[in-house]
Amino acid sequence: MTETSIKTALVVSAHSADFVWRAGGAIALHQQQGYQVHVVCLSFGERGESAKLWRKGEMTEEKVKQARRSEAQAAADILGASIEFFDMGDYPLRADKEALFRLADVYRRIQPHFVLTHSLHDPYNYDHPMATNLAQEARIIAQAEGYRPGEKIIAAPPVYCFEPHQPEQCHWKPDVLLDITSVWDKKYAAIQCMAGQEHLWEYYTRVAQQRGVQAKRNVGITAARDIIYGEGYQSIFPRVTEDLS
Ligand SMILES: [Zn+2]
């Protein structure tokens, strides 16, 4: 297989579990289709999304980070994705120029065919739109001929925002429903790696079932099949196509 024939995807996750709840199906599905999927976790969610671990007592930030890293690595292994951790801290997640360039360099290295990240707004969690902004800005830098001249720039990969916890408050409205029925077992196995957030396992099962029903209701003539589980996405850019079916 030549370098250009390998399809790739990049997932930018604010905290170490977000990519599992919100994009685990897309990751497993595309991995099965031959894509190399790479996940960047900007932080471990050590402060904001690890309540159960902190309640155990005798915890330090380092111990929580280590536990979260192990969970995320196990989930990525199940989904078939490579993963790296930027360890930028959470609550608040803040990026300096170096972090931005580090992410731009990941874009250059991966040359993604599409990108998955958070919603543009989230009044419950400032780290999530911060991650989206970073993913977007790094994408633009990686497209610039003047950034590290001589390197291969990236094209314009579509960016899809994955589903936030409370879509209405985040002004998030799906325009893509992905059928993840064939990989649901993998996604649920990955979800179960998130021992620190067991309260969300069934919640995100229900979300997938809801999106599955909606996908079935909207399915076109070319893909008439039994959909049970789905994931919703909101695209940022117009889709370029020669086939409207
Ligand atoms: Zn998060």
Domains parsed from the chain with CATH numbers:
3-235 (3.40.50.10320)
Name which of 35-39, 54-58, 108-112, 134-138 the model is least confident about: 54-58
pLDDT tens readout for residues 38-64: 999 999 999 998 888 899 888 999 999
45 CA distance to ligand 1 centroid (A)?
7
- Cβ atoms of residues 215 and 230 within 8 Å: yes
Instruction: State mean pLDDT over 196-217.
Output: 94
237 CA distance to ligand 1 centroid (A)?
23
Distance between the two ends of the chain, CA-based, in angstroms? 30
17 CA distance to ligand 1 centroid (A)?
7
Per-residue pLDDT for 1 more than 60?
no
Q: Which of 70, 82, 85 is nearest to 15 (CA)?
A: 85
Per-residue pLDDT for 174 more than 80?
yes
Burial of 36 (0-12, 13-18, 19+ CB in 10 A): middle
* Cα–Cα dist 231/163, whole Å: 8
pTM value? 0.95
CB atoms within 10 A of CB 27: 30
Query: What percent of the chain is modeled with pLDDT above 70?
Result: 97
Name which of 53-62, 153-162, 170-179 the model is least confident about: 53-62
Q: Which of 157, 71, 70, 46 is nearest to 108 (CA)?
A: 157
For residue 176, name the pLDDT band (cuts at 50, 70, 90): very high
128 CA distance to ligand 1 centroid (A)?
6
72 CA distance to ligand 1 centroid (A)?
13
Instruction: State mean pLDDT over 33-41.
Output: 98
Instruction: State mean pLDDT over 131-142.
Output: 98
Query: What percent of the chain is modeled with pLDDT above 90?
Result: 88
For residue 198, name the pLDDT band (cuts at 50, 70, 90): confident
pLDDT tens readout for residues 69-110: 999 999 999 999 999 999 999 999 999 999 999 999 999 999
* pLDDT for position 3: 54
5 CA distance to ligand 1 centroid (A)?
33
174 CA distance to ligand 1 centroid (A)?
19
49 CA distance to ligand 1 centroid (A)?
7
Summary mean pLDDT of the chain = 95
Name which of 16-20, 41-45, 125-129, 224-228 the model is least confident about: 224-228
71 CA distance to ligand 1 centroid (A)?
14
Per-residue pLDDT for 10 more than 60?
yes
133 CA distance to ligand 1 centroid (A)?
14
Question: Distance of CA 35 to CAs 72, 77, 226, Å?
Answer: 20, 15, 24
